[in-house]
Amino acid sequence: MPQVVNLRQVLKAKARAEAERKADENRTKHGAPKAEKKKVTAEREKSRKDLDSKKLDRKGK
């Protein structure tokens, strides 16, 4: 005997999958938010400064 399927649930699941696919496409197209870009840039700058501050000065030799 065939499985009984609720059509409304199937249509909602299909719509959710389509919305997720479109959202993923838009995330790829538009990239990261401005705040996230600033955060990454600040973290890179901080790590660069930390590394530079730990370098040994060899000018005297």
Write b or e for each residue in 21-52: b if 16 or more Cβ atoms lie within 10 A of its Cβ, otherwise e: eeeeeeeeeeeeeeeeeeeeeeeeeeeeeeee
Domain encompassing residue 43: 7-53
Query: Looking at the predicted structure, is the pLDDT value of residue 10 above 60?
Result: yes
Q: What pLDDT sits at residue 61?
A: 53
HSE-up (13 A, CA, CB side) for residue 42: 6
Amino acid at 3: Q
Residue 28 lies in a domain: yes
Query: Looking at the predicted structure, is the pLDDT value of residue 16 above 90?
Result: yes
Could you give the CA distance from residue 43 to residue 31 in angstroms, rounded to a whole number? Answer: 18
End-to-end Cα spacing for the chain: 89
Residue 49 lies in a domain: yes
Mean pLDDT of the 24-46 span = 91
Mean pLDDT of the 29-42 span = 89
Residue 58 lies in a domain: no
Q: What pLDDT sits at residue 60?
A: 57
Q: Whole-model pTM above 0.85?
A: no
Mean pLDDT of the 21-46 span = 91
Residue 60 lies in a domain: no
Residue 23 lies in a domain: yes
